[in-house]
Structure 1
Amino acid sequence: MTQELKHQIVSELENYLSQHEMSANDFVKKSGVNESYISNMRNKSFKIGPTEIAPKWFEKVASFIGLALKKTYWKPVVTKQMTAMMAILEDSKEHGTINPVIGETGCGKTFNSNLFAAQHPLDTFIIKVGSSDNLSDLIDKILDKAKIPHSKTKSKNINAIVKFMQKQKFESLKPQLIFDECEYMKQPTLSMMKELTDDLKGHCSIVLIGTDELIDNLDKLRKRKKAGMRQFYRRIKFGIRVLPSIDKNFQGFLENVEDRPLRSFLQRVCENYGELHDALVPALREADRTGEKLNEQFVRKVLNLPTQMFA
């Protein structure tokens, strides 16, 4: 890594701290980069004693602040889903509400929520839900994301989270928890989410992101009169927000694809933005590497798709 690039990263770091009104100490907590590394970087000393700070730490800083060090093959496109989701997240954050956000698979829910969180690094925390997670697992993930020390009991951990959110509000921040891939929540976890949302009500906004499976699961549990589900559903019923349908023409994504047959092929075989990314990005990288023309035949070769597939 050149000295010039190191100076560029430090300059962008200073801009980032200023833009987000973030202290160096907060940056250290959020990024996980050693405090002495950050201090020396900002002082334009790229050594700790006689030892050079390893390039991986500069790369970690660049990654956290969103500075691309390599060519980017997939750039944000302002879709209807992005516009809607950003407005929902902003409104929820501003007013401290609970909002389930429902969208099709591959419509950019995770991508857009990460973009939003990057704009609010101090007080927005994304928790990715796993298929085997229970409430204790989710609480542990919140503690880890917010850098809150773990206690021995669930109730103490919840109290610690509440106090943390209260402290953020006292400091004029607007804390927000975003739970991603909530369709994976099973009945026990959904039942316990009522407990967590009740404890956090008034202290932070909560967004539950998922596919329509999330609403289907909630509706089934409510109709079966599972404990707490009717009360939980009542709390979120009028907070449910459904994102617009995916544009299968992929306007904005294919503007740099000059080959018309390739554009038609991608529109035909890709069901969503996620699939388009998975088909196009490896082909763009390989075309750059080999210098070959980007067309349907080349994309099929990169993806190992026989000619008869998706004919």
Structure 2
Amino acid sequence: MGINKEQVVAKLRLKVEKYGSQNKAAKSMKGVSPAMVNMMVSGKWDGIGEGMWRKVAAHVGWTAEGWQAVKTGDFKVLGTLLEKARTESLVFAVTGEAGTGKSFATRLYASEHKRAYLLQCNEFWNRKYFLMEALGAMGRDSSGLTVSDMMVELVRALKKEENPLIIMDEADKLSDQVLYFFITLYNQLEDHCGIVLLATDHLSKRIRKGLKLNKKGYKEIYSRVNRKFIELKGVGISDVTQVCMANGVDDRDVIREIFNDCEGDLRRVKQKVRAYRQGA
């Protein structure tokens, strides 16, 4: 299935609205220029290659799968936590198994709220890259700035906003040096900016192990997440039933079989549903 350009542009317009300008929206999308954003939203599509359409589609969250997403139990819990963190400037550390839909829920939340900034963390990030990504998520240019300059700019920019939220997805992938930035952000933005650390239980195990070993910074991190990791419940039979029925599988025996075989992973549920529909 090819790219539906009208749908991509519709989502792009929402992104422009979120950031307040085409320029800021472009800065939040690596490899996409302000001129390209302007061309797309203005309907000047001649000469825009398929590669660029795919890149923008990925940035705005459009897919051609025709898959109907479902708001599972964990989806609703996570949405409530994100909203509470944003509106009340709170800090949460939330853990859940891989494949339970954490990233999907946070991407959707960030796309629907103007001052919610999602950072998709990676192992290769150093301190400079973390700050570049954070400023980029806000639609701000970090070129030519030192690490110190970027931290000052990030804090300054966030303090100017009402009820901002930073979501650090897959935070367990961050090195200690980058994770320490969480302490700095908390200290400088306490009661002004919400922060949510989202990860698998590797993060909670890592922090607790660090506490036992008295590792630098770990007591501070644990204190700032209220000495608590909020554990999501995972994928239950009702979640799998909703997903299956929303995507054309309504045979209760098949649904039970998919649930028993999915190991609590919604990605596997999707694979099993697709396989069933192709064989039906």
Q: By the TM > 0.5 criterion, same fold? A: yes
- Which residue, out of 253, 262, 269, partners 2:243? 253
Amino acid at match of 1:36: A
2 CA distance for matches of 1:151 and 1:83? 41
User: 1:117-140 CA distances to partner (integer Å, 9 max, x unpaired)?
Assistant: 1112x4322222333544444233
Check whether the contact 1:180–1:210 (CA below 8 A) recurs between aligned residues. yes
- Which residue, out of 23, 27, 30, partners 1:29? 27
1 CA distance for matches of 2:216 and 2:201? 22
Q: Any unmatched runs of 5+ in structure 2?
A: none
Q: Residue in 2 aligned with 1:307? A: none
Percent of aligned pairs sharing the same letter: 24
User: 1:42-99 CA distances to partner (integer Å, 9 max, x unpaired)?
Assistant: 444444xxxx44455455555555555x341x32211110110001001111122221
Check whether the contact 1:222–1:229 (CA below 8 A) recurs between aligned residues. yes
Check whether the contact 2:119–2:133 (CA below 8 A) recurs between aligned residues. yes
Secondary structure of the corresponding residue to residue 126 of structure 1:
strand
2 CA distance for matches of 1:140 and 1:15? 24
Check whether the contact 1:150–1:157 (CA below 8 A) recurs between aligned residues. no
* Structure 1 range deviating more: 242-251 or 186-195: 186-195
- Which residue, out of 14, 17, 40, partners 1:16? 14
Check whether the contact 2:27–2:141 (CA below 8 A) recurs between aligned residues. no
Matched, 1:154 2:147: yes
Bigger relative contact order, structure 1 or 2 (CA pairs below 8 A, ≥6 apart): 2
| Pairs within 5 Å for 1:68-79 | 68=63, 70-72=64-66, 74-79=67-72
Amino acid at match of 1:283: A
| Pairs within 5 Å for 1:163-178 | 163-167=156-160, 169=161, 172=162, 174-178=163-167
Q: Residue in 2 aligned with 1:119? A: 112
User: 1:216-250 CA distances to partner (integer Å, 9 max, x unpaired)?
Assistant: 22122223332332233222125643322420452
Matched, 1:220 2:203: no
- Which residue, out of 77, 86, 105, partners 2:98? 105
Query: 1:159/1:91 Cα in 2 relative to 1: closer, same or farther (>3 Å)?
Result: same
Q: Residue in 2 aligned with 1:267? A: 259
Give the TM-score of the pair, scaled to structure 1: 0.72
- Which residue, out of 171, 195, 208, partners 2:197? 208
Give the TM-score of the pair, scaled to structure 2: 0.79
Query: 1:151/1:220 Cα in 2 relative to 1: closer, same or farther (>3 Å)?
Result: farther
Residue 35 of structure 1 and its aligned partner are, at CA, apart by: 3.3
1 CA distance for matches of 2:237 and 2:125? 33
Q: Residue in 1 aligned with 2:188? A: 199
- Which residue, out of 126, 137, 143, partners 1:145? 137
- Which residue, out of 79, 84, 87, partners 2:80? 87
Check whether the contact 2:121–2:168 (CA below 8 A) recurs between aligned residues. yes
User: 1:3-39 CA distances to partner (integer Å, 9 max, x unpaired)?
Assistant: xx65x45873686369748333333333454433443
Check whether the contact 1:151–1:157 (CA below 8 A) recurs between aligned residues. no
Secondary structure of the corresponding residue to residue 78 of structure 1:
coil
Larger C-alpha radius of gyration, 1 or 2? 1
1 CA distance for matches of 2:25 and 2:82? 23
User: 1:139-183 CA distances to partner (integer Å, 9 max, x unpaired)?
Assistant: 33323433431455432221121122123x1xx4x3222111123
Matched residue count: 274
Query: 1:77/1:209 Cα in 2 relative to 1: closer, same or farther (>3 Å)?
Result: same
Q: Residue in 1 aligned with 2:222? A: 233
Query: 1:198/1:242 Cα in 2 relative to 1: closer, same or farther (>3 Å)?
Result: same
Matched, 1:131 2:144: no
C-alpha RMSD of the superposition: 3.4
2 CA distance for matches of 1:133 and 1:63? 21
Residue 280 of structure 1 and its aligned partner are, at CA, apart by: 2.5
1 CA distance for matches of 2:166 and 2:151? 13
Query: 1:37/1:186 Cα in 2 relative to 1: closer, same or farther (>3 Å)?
Result: closer
Residue 215 of structure 1 and its aligned partner are, at CA, apart by: 1.7
